[in-house]
Amino acid sequence: MPESRPFVSLATDFGAAYTAICAGVVYTIAPAANVLVLSDEITPFGVREGAMLLRQALPYLPAGVHLGIVDPGVGTQRRPVAVETGRGDVLVGPDNGLLVPAADRLGGVVRAHVLENPAYRLPGVSASFHGRDIFSPAAGHIAAGVEVSDLGSPAEPLPLDVPSPVVGDGELTVPVLYTDRFGSLILGAEPEDLAAAFGPLPYGTPLGVVWTAPGPGSARVTFEETFGGVSPGEPLVWVDSSGWLGLAVNQGSAAVAFGLAGTETVTLHRL
């Protein structure tokens, strides 16, 4: 059988045009590569959202080189890195925590190296488009067979900055990871955190949700298996397809309904 083509994926907050430029750089360096744009619609500067997309999606993609670019620190002292995982993938992007949750899902970090060798960058590196000038060339060269260790010095990648859920007496305080395109809030807690706070929780159990920012508020929701457990326009807490808790409104937007745009933390308690 013929040797399979190298696989490269891209996930960015760039929009279509700038992401296509990055794909073009990869193709130019590794013309045999199969390049997939996983997303160019991550919320601008949404590092947590991008990290959760990579964490959720990459286990379902072929092993390969995966570009993740959400880089509000572009041009600063933050490092560009390539992270090799236990499954054999290499994740390429800024060292701002974006890559680490996905690496953990792919067998953990085996090694990481800074992208500092000029041989594997474009000849001119801009201050604000490292996706084109540093990350995409590195991904192309790795796909073409360059060893990660040839890219630069070893590094210990930074973890994603997300608070842990806090289990209290009959309550659970959780960070908001991001708001998805439906206006549902994806929360940084898993079913075992819910069980630790409340014990067995049958579907249909009412819960209270409270928050303090952008202004104080509260809501009554129910814990449900799926959106259809409540009527259209009614709120619920559920476990999403990646295993996180979420706060949603059936056929609506929780962010709009409750004025939760920009909320960083919510607390669940049993009613």
pLDDT in tens, 236-257: 999 999 999 999 999 999 999 9
Say if residue 2's pLDDT is above 80.
no
**Which pLDDT score is estimated for 169?**
85
The answer to whether the beta carbons of residues 105 and 90 sit under 8 Å apart is: no
Say if residue 1's pLDDT is above 60.
no
| Burial class (CB within 10 angstroms; exposed 0-12, middle 13-18, buried 19+) of 73 | middle
Arithmetic mean of pLDDT, 101-125? 98
Amino acid at 215: G
| Burial class (CB within 10 angstroms; exposed 0-12, middle 13-18, buried 19+) of 26 | buried
Cβ neighbours of residue 150 under 8 Å, at least 6 residues apart?
117, 120
Report the predicted TM-score, pTM, of the whole model to 2 decimal places: 0.94
User: CA angle at residue 48 from 93 to 221, to 5 degrees?
Assistant: 160
User: What are the pLDDT digits (tens) for 9-19?
Assistant: 999 999 999 99
Nearest to 14 by CA among 35, 36, 44: 44
Please give the helix or strand (H or E) that residue 257 lies within, else none. helix 254-257
Mean pLDDT for the chain? Answer: 96
Domains and CATH numbers, the chain: 7-150 (3.40.50.10790), 166-270 (2.40.30.90)
Strand-pair partners of 66: 9, 91
User: What are the pLDDT digits (tens) for 198-225?
Assistant: 999 999 999 999 999 888 999 999 999 9
**Which pLDDT score is estimated for 105?**
97
Arithmetic mean of pLDDT, 182-194? 96
Strand-pair partners of 92: 67, 82
> Alpha-carbon distance 246 to 17, whole Å?
32
Find the helix packing angle between 136-143 and 16-29, rounded to 10°. 40
Nearest to 135 by CA among 14, 253, 53: 14
